[in-house]
Structure 1
Amino acid sequence: MSERKVTRAHTGLTEQIDAVVSAMQIAEPYLEPEVVDQAAVIIERAEARRQLSADHVVVGLFGATGSGKSSLFNALVGSEIAQTGVIRPTTTKTVAAIWQPVGADALLDWLEVSERHILSSQVLGKGSKKSQDLGGGLILLDLPDMDSTSTEHHLIASRLAGQVDYLVWVLDPQKYADASIHHGYLSELTGQRGNLLVVLNQVDTIAESDREPVKASLNALLADEGIGQVPIVLASARSGEGLDAVREKFAVALNNKVQATRRLRADVDGLLRLLDGELALPKVHTPGIMEQSELEGTIAKAHGTHRIADAVQTSYKLRASTNTGWPLTSWLTRLRNDPLKRMNLGRGIEKPEISLTSRPELSVAESAAVDQAVVKYLNTATEDLSPRWSQSFKDGIREQRTELASEIDIAIASCTLGVEKKSWWWPVTKFVQWLGVVVALAGGLWLGGIALAAYFQFNLPETPRVEGFAIPTLMVFVGVLLGIVLGIFGSFINKMVARLKRRKALKNLQNSVGGVVRRFIVDPTSHHLEQYNSYASLITSAAKKVE
């Protein structure tokens, strides 16, 4: 294999692993625990194997009780290393045959294999017609029986089935069609066809005429399990038949410089197929502006923004009447209740969070309206997601209802309503009003003085006149008329301004409440969907690189 292909294989595996790690960091809370655990095992195993010797290829012999696995192991290595016999299970611990010990210890420590036998690189095994050079780093393992009654043995075999670089499944003619073997063990190797060899052992017990039909039957069984076309070698540990073909498969694996990478890639590929198959959609979209506006508007209305805006209009007119009305009667408006003061609003508090509003609690209908708006928005946002991606998120948003209401109250308390300060024309109007009162009062006092002097028969100079009207009389009429005119005109102006204040206050209130809604609902929803899209993008792009 060329150096370029080796580099490409390692790079492809690295990219896939990085993608899976990033995806798991995003999606762990929303995936099935079994999937997360499976991903963790595969990634941890891949990272560990990549740190160990790349010059060795670990070949594991797997099989059920009675398949002759240990006898085949001994025949392949040309030495009675593995224990054989009639007592079941025969193989109780893993045995390793090593042809190149340099660099193998750390790898075998990771595999947790303690019994190790170092062999010559030139091996002339049983039935071999020529020497096979296995000095390229072969490590051959004889594993405990997969169907062992000992739980410990079964766990060891299952663990190593996920760690070895090349799997050799040993079957015997009596059990090769056993459904429990296929469904229980072989079906788990569907993604490993490129790293799997099936050896039908004890072929010497099958008549020559029956061998091809048996091999065809085994092929069909493997296809039914979804494994597909894998190499099948008919062999016999007793007679040595077919062992050269098995050794040739080992030699091919040894010459493959990325055999370990290929095995790890198969595991990662299988995980990616699973994750890609469970994707709801490759990309989801956040709700549009209309849905967001409807959400914000419904929640703002339920929290009384329209009532507050009405109160702003009423409050402004009351405050304006007090400051621009006729001074002798405007004090009466102070006796009327200011609706904003009842709600503890419009006072220009510097820190509204320490002085919340006195608005009434939301009614049952208003609370229901808020809940329905939130549910509708969240359902729209997550309708294309799987239940695990949507339900826990929606539950988390709804659990913040109390905090949402509290933050909305603070937002309303801190909102500028436009009545916190006096309008600039109020002092001017007030001054003119008082000037009119003073003029009318002065004219009245003047007329009173003239009347009093006439009563006591004092001779006074003639009262000054303008166009035939006595000045004190004009002063009374002008002062009173000025108050009336200013009052009417001021009332008209104040009503128009009050409507503008209401409109502006409503807009400010809706913006303030909308800001809280965006912070508690809209932005988290967008972030959640972005997380899903990032996860889906990682899985989709990595799945496209699956071999």
Structure 2
Amino acid sequence: MTERKVVRAVNGLNQQIDSVVEAMQLAEPYLDSESIDLAASVIRKSESRRKLSSEHVVVGLFGATGSGKSTLFNALVGRELASTGVIRPTTTNTVAAIWDTAGANELLDWLEVNDRHVIEASAEPKRGSSKKDFDSGLLLLDLPDMDSTRVEHHQIATRLVGQVDFLVWVLDPQKYADASIHHGYLNSLRSQQGNILIVLNQIDRVAASDRNSIVNSLRDILASSGLERLPVVCASASTGEGLEEVQRQIATAAKNKAISTRRLRADVDQVVNHLKAELNAEKVRLPDQMQQSELERAIANAHGAQYIADAVETSYKLRAARRTGWPVTTWLIRLRNDPLQRMNLGRKREAAELSITSRPELSVAEAAAIDHAIDNYVQEATQELPDSWIEPVREEVGSNVQHLDGAVDAAIAGTALGVEKSSWWWPAVKFVQWVSLLAALAGALWLAAYPVAGYFQFDLPTAPRVEGIAAPTLVFAIGVLLGIVLGIACSFVNRIVAKVKRRKALRNIERSVSGQVRAAVVEPVDHYLNTYNSYAAIITSAAKKAE
């Protein structure tokens, strides 16, 4: 394999590992333990293997008791290194044949293989073995029988299945259809088809006329498990039949210095595909502005936004009437209570956020309306998420909602309602009203002075007349009419301004409430949805790059 292909394989593996690591950092709290353990195991194995010798290719011989695996191993090596016999199990320890020791010991330590044998290039091969030397980077392993009754032997075989770079499955032609072989091992290695060789060993025990049917039957079984691309070689360790082809396949694998990278890449791709299969959707839709506005408006209304806005309108009209009405009648207006003052709203505060309102507690219906609005919002927002993602969203929102009522109350208390200050034109109107009242009072006193003076026999100058109307009468009439007309006109203007104040106050209240709703509900939900979309995008992209 060219160096360029090796570099490309390494880069591809690095990219997939980075994708899995980044995805797990985002989604680990929401994934099931099986997915987490699988990803962690593969990443640890990949990181460990990449630090070890890249010049060695580890080939493992796997098989059940009686398959002739150890005999085949000895034939390939050219020495009697592995124990053979009929006692069950035959192979109890992992035996390693090494053609190049440089860097091999660290790799074998990682594989936990202690029984090691160095094969010299000049060694005389055993009769019946292939005469062609293996590549110096080969590490050939004979593993414990995978059907061993000893638990520790079975565990060793299972562990090494996931660690070796190239797998040689040695099958007995009389037991090749054993379900435990296919369902227990081979079915889990569909992603490793380029790194597996099937050897139908002891083929000399099968009549020549039956061999084709056995091979075809085996291929059908493999194909039914999704392993239709596995090469099948018929061999016999005792007669030497097919050994050259087995060695050729192993030698080809040993020369491929990127095979360990390709094996790791297949494992990582398997994790990616597993995570991809668990995605409910490649991208979930975030709630739109209309849904958010409906939630905020529902909570604001439940907290009395409309009622407070009405109180703002009433309060403004009362305050305006007191400041712009006819002074003779404004005392009646002062007898009416200001609804904003009853709720402890609409006042200037240096630290409004520390204030609380005097509004009544939420009724059962209002509290239920808030819960219903939040539940609907969260349910609609998370309907595309996997179940494992939904529960954390509900838990965080539920925790935030417990403090929402107090936060909304404080927000309303600190909201500028637009009635904290007097309107700029009130003082001018008030001045005119008092001038008109004083004029009316002066005219009334002037008129009253004549009968009083007559009673006491005083003569007063005749009052001047304007267009035939006595000046005192005219002054009194103008003062009274000006005050009444100005009061009516201001009342009309005040009603219009109060409507405007109501709308502005309602917007301000809803804006204040929406800030608390966003912090307690909208932003946590968006955070989870954005996290899921980021995770799904990484996994989807990695799945498209999977080999």
TM-score (norm 2): 0.93
Aligned pairs for 1:315-354 (under 5 A) are 315-354=315-354
Aligned pairs for 1:49-60 (under 5 A) are 49-60=49-60
Amino acid at match of 1:270: Q
**Are 1:510 and 2:510 matched, yes or no?**
yes
Moved more, 519-528 or 420-429: 519-528
Partner of 2:118: 118
Counterparts of 2:124 and 2:185, CA distance in 1: 32
Partner of 1:214: 214
Amino acid at match of 1:34: E
Partner of 1:369: 369
Partner of 1:246: 246
Counterparts of 1:164 and 1:133, CA distance in 2: 21
Residues 168 and 197 in structure 1, CA contact (< 8 A), matched pair in contact too:
yes
Partner of 1:419: 419
Aligned pairs for 1:460-479 (under 5 A) are 460-479=460-479
Partner of 2:226: 226
Aligned pairs for 1:386-535 (under 5 A) are 386-535=386-535
Residues 173 and 202 in structure 1, CA contact (< 8 A), matched pair in contact too:
yes
Counterparts of 2:239 and 2:92, CA distance in 1: 25
Gaps of at least 5 residues in structure 1 are none
Residues 401 and 520 in structure 2, CA contact (< 8 A), matched pair in contact too:
no
| CA distances 1:127-162 after superposition (whole Å, capped 9, x unpaired) | 446532224311112222222233222222211111
Counterparts of 1:129 and 1:303, CA distance in 2: 88
Q: Per-residue deviation at 1:270?
A: 1.8
Residues 58 and 165 in structure 1, CA contact (< 8 A), matched pair in contact too:
yes
Moved more, 257-266 or 178-187: 178-187
Change (3 A) 1:503 1:63: same
**Which SS does the other structure have where 2:311 is aligned?**
helix
**Which SS does the other structure have where 2:369 is aligned?**
helix
Amino acid at match of 1:544: K
| CA distances 1:345-378 after superposition (whole Å, capped 9, x unpaired) | 1113232221122222332332333233233333
Q: Per-residue deviation at 1:476?
A: 3.0
| CA distances 1:320-348 after superposition (whole Å, capped 9, x unpaired) | 11212223432332322211122221113
Moved more, 178-187 or 489-498: 178-187
Residues 123 and 131 in structure 1, CA contact (< 8 A), matched pair in contact too:
no
Q: Per-residue deviation at 1:436?
A: 2.3
Moved more, 466-475 or 346-355: 466-475
Number of aligned residues: 547
Counterparts of 2:314 and 2:397, CA distance in 1: 37
Amino acid at match of 1:352: A
Partner of 1:286: 286
Change (3 A) 1:289 1:252: same
Residues 412 and 509 in structure 2, CA contact (< 8 A), matched pair in contact too:
yes
**Which SS does the other structure have where 1:117 is aligned?**
strand
Counterparts of 1:421 and 1:147, CA distance in 2: 89
**Which SS does the other structure have where 1:132 is aligned?**
coil
Amino acid at match of 2:476: V
Counterparts of 1:121 and 1:448, CA distance in 2: 141
Q: Per-residue deviation at 1:468?
A: 4.1
Counterparts of 1:384 and 1:116, CA distance in 2: 54
**Which SS does the other structure have where 1:168 is aligned?**
strand
Counterparts of 1:213 and 1:473, CA distance in 2: 132
Q: Per-residue deviation at 1:464?
A: 4.2
Amino acid at match of 1:203: I
Residues 135 and 255 in structure 2, CA contact (< 8 A), matched pair in contact too:
no
**Which SS does the other structure have where 1:81 is aligned?**
coil
Counterparts of 1:123 and 1:183, CA distance in 2: 40
Change (3 A) 1:123 1:58: farther
Q: Per-residue deviation at 1:309?
A: 0.8
**Which SS does the other structure have where 1:133 is aligned?**
coil
Amino acid at match of 1:299: I
**Which SS does the other structure have where 2:545 is aligned?**
coil
Amino acid at match of 1:514: S
**Which SS does the other structure have where 1:169 is aligned?**
strand
Counterparts of 2:127 and 2:351, CA distance in 1: 93
Counterparts of 1:272 and 1:523, CA distance in 2: 29
Aligned pairs for 1:24-43 (under 5 A) are 24-43=24-43
Partner of 1:261: 261
Q: Per-residue deviation at 1:450?
A: 4.1
Give percent identity, aligned residues only: 60
Residues 56 and 139 in structure 1, CA contact (< 8 A), matched pair in contact too:
yes
Partner of 2:167: 167
Counterparts of 2:330 and 2:121, CA distance in 1: 113
Counterparts of 2:62 and 2:339, CA distance in 1: 84
Amino acid at match of 1:434: W
Residues 272 and 543 in structure 1, CA contact (< 8 A), matched pair in contact too:
yes
Partner of 2:541: 541
Partner of 1:357: 357
Counterparts of 1:401 and 1:519, CA distance in 2: 10
Q: Per-residue deviation at 1:420?
A: 0.8
Q: Per-residue deviation at 1:20?
A: 1.7
Amino acid at match of 2:313: Q
Residues 78 and 129 in structure 2, CA contact (< 8 A), matched pair in contact too:
no
Partner of 1:204: 204
Counterparts of 1:511 and 1:285, CA distance in 2: 24
Q: Per-residue deviation at 1:248?
A: 1.3
Counterparts of 1:112 and 1:165, CA distance in 2: 15
| CA distances 1:221-247 after superposition (whole Å, capped 9, x unpaired) | 222222223122223333443332222
Residues 122 and 132 in structure 1, CA contact (< 8 A), matched pair in contact too:
no
Partner of 1:17: 17
**Are 1:305 and 2:298 matched, yes or no?**
no
Counterparts of 1:125 and 1:311, CA distance in 2: 103
Residues 219 and 229 in structure 1, CA contact (< 8 A), matched pair in contact too:
no
Amino acid at match of 1:264: L
**Which SS does the other structure have where 1:400 is aligned?**
helix
Q: Give the aligned CA root-mean-square deviation in angstroms.
A: 2.3
Counterparts of 1:171 and 1:124, CA distance in 2: 28
TM-score (norm 1): 0.93
Partner of 1:195: 195
Q: Per-residue deviation at 1:395?
A: 4.1
Change (3 A) 1:196 1:124: farther
Residues 61 and 141 in structure 1, CA contact (< 8 A), matched pair in contact too:
yes
**Which SS does the other structure have where 2:167 is aligned?**
strand
**Which SS does the other structure have where 1:141 is aligned?**
strand
Counterparts of 1:511 and 1:274, CA distance in 2: 45
Partner of 1:94: 94
Residues 237 and 243 in structure 1, CA contact (< 8 A), matched pair in contact too:
yes
Counterparts of 1:264 and 1:361, CA distance in 2: 62
Residues 137 and 255 in structure 2, CA contact (< 8 A), matched pair in contact too:
no
Moved more, 486-495 or 68-77: 68-77
| CA distances 1:49-85 after superposition (whole Å, capped 9, x unpaired) | 1121110001112222333323332232222323344
Counterparts of 1:365 and 1:381, CA distance in 2: 24
Q: Per-residue deviation at 1:100?
A: 0.7
Moved more, 322-331 or 492-501: 322-331
Q: Per-residue deviation at 1:188?
A: 1.4
Counterparts of 2:124 and 2:446, CA distance in 1: 142
**Which SS does the other structure have where 2:92 is aligned?**
coil
Residues 126 and 240 in structure 1, CA contact (< 8 A), matched pair in contact too:
no
Q: Per-residue deviation at 1:187?
A: 1.4
